[in-house]
């Protein structure tokens, strides 16, 4: 199944003159999202795991990753990528003021394994904007 996208307008104000440009952007929610059960079934098909074993492992994975991140470790899953905590703080005038009580986790980040990223880059695409699809069909005729 191809990856859905929409076209978004952005105004580039970096030059002397404003310029309107259009970019492909991911559709907020892809249709038919794969849930844990579907992933577990696919894992069971490709391994010696039962569906239940695979689902159990998937269910435990978020808690295990969160626990390791809280312990200050990055989490690397071979072939998938690395999860790590993004941190920040308010701006301080002196480095000494940037103490542990003033730092927080802003988000959990993920850096894909290069091989995993390459495998996803081979995906097909479908534009969800009907107007653009109609214009593209007209151009092809």
Each residue's pLDDT tens digit, 74-93: 999 999 999 999 999 999 99
Closest CA to 26 of 112, 130, 127: 127
pLDDT at residue 94 tops 70: yes
What 8-state DSSP symbol labels residue 100? G
The arithmetic mean of pLDDT across residues 49-62, rounded, is 96
What is this structure's pTM? 0.69
Q: Decide: helix, strand or coil at residue 2.
A: coil
pLDDT at residue 101 tops 80: yes
Q: How confident is the model at residue 5 (pLDDT cuts 50, 70, 90)?
A: confident
* pLDDT for 126: 74
* pLDDT for 138: 60
Give me the sheet containing 3-12, strands edge to edge.
Answer: 19-26, 3-12, 125-127
Pick the CATH number of 3-12+34-140 from 3.40.50.300, 4.10.520.10, 2.60.40.60, 3.30.930.10: 4.10.520.10
């Amino acid at each position: 199944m191809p990856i859905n996208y929409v076209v978004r307008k952005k105004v580039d104000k970096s030059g002397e003159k404003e310029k309107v440009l259009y970019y492909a952007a991911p559709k907020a929610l892809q249709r038919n999202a794969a849930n844990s059960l579907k992933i577990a079934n696919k894992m069971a098909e490709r391994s010696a795991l039962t569906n239940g074993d695979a689902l159990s492992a998937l269910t435990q994975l978020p808690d295990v990753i969160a626990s390791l991140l809280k312990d200050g470790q990055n989490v690397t899953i071979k072939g998938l990528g690395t999860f790590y905590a993004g941190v920040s703080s308010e701006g301080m005038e002196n480095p000494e003021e940037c103490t542990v009580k003033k730092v927080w986790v802003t988000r959990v980040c993920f850096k894909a394994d290069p091989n995993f990223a390459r495998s996803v880059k081979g995906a097909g695409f479908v534009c969800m904007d009907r107007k653009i699809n109609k214009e593209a069909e007209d151009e092809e005729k």
